[in-house]
Amino acid sequence: MSNNSITTLSACKTKLRTKNPKPKTHCLFKTSDVKTMAGNGEKKPILEMVQADGAQEDCVTFVMHDEDHTLGNSLRYMIMKNPDVEFCGYTITHPSESKINFRIQTRGGVPAVEPLQKGLKDLHEVCQHVLNTFQTKVNEYKEREETPME
């Protein structure tokens, strides 16, 4: 992670409960999930976990690259439905940047990664249901239109 990336997260890292304010970055992806950013050929992860040294796992900031309010607000809603989540919110650092700083704080020592994974899974299921319902209705409409009127 470059120094510029750490600087843009300065607002988030000051909120972390820690004695050492320098954040650690964990990449939460497989090598096959790495995208090549346009233009310079630099490879960046799609999702990173930023956590200060010594910070607990129940209060974490996740950085999602190439995303905006479309995913941010939907995912925040799904995660907040989880009773183990005390706080969930996101910020977009600058309108010209396409990355989200996604913050999750949990209760009872539950690692923040768990509600993130569950929220992503639940959101995927909801989107799949909407897609299937839409496709079914489109097919029904096409069948009705193809049937000759008597």
Which stretches within the chain are classed as H helix? 3-8, 10-13, 69-80, 113-146
Residue % of the chain over a pLDDT of 90:
57
- What is the predicted pLDDT for the residue at 26? 52
Residue 35 pLDDT > 80, yes or no? no
pLDDT (tens digit, 9 = 90+) per residue, 52-103? 777 889 999 999 999 999 999 999 999 999 999 999 999 998 999 899 999 9
Residue 27 pLDDT > 70, yes or no? no
CB count in 10 Å sphere of residue 66: 13
Residue 10 pLDDT > 50, yes or no? no
Lookup: tokens for 9 = 């997260």
Contacts of 45 (CB under 8 A, 6+ apart): 27, 28, 29, 33, 34, 65
Residue 38 burial class via C-beta count within 10 angstroms: exposed 0-12, middle 13-18, buried 19 and up:
exposed
- What is the predicted pLDDT for the residue at 82? 97
User: What is the CATH architecture assignment of 47-145?
Assistant: 2-Layer Sandwich (3.30)
pTM higher than the cut 0.75: no
Domain boundaries, the chain: 47-145
Q: Are 2 and 29 in contact (CB under 8 A)?
A: no
pLDDT: which is higher, 149 or 143 = 143
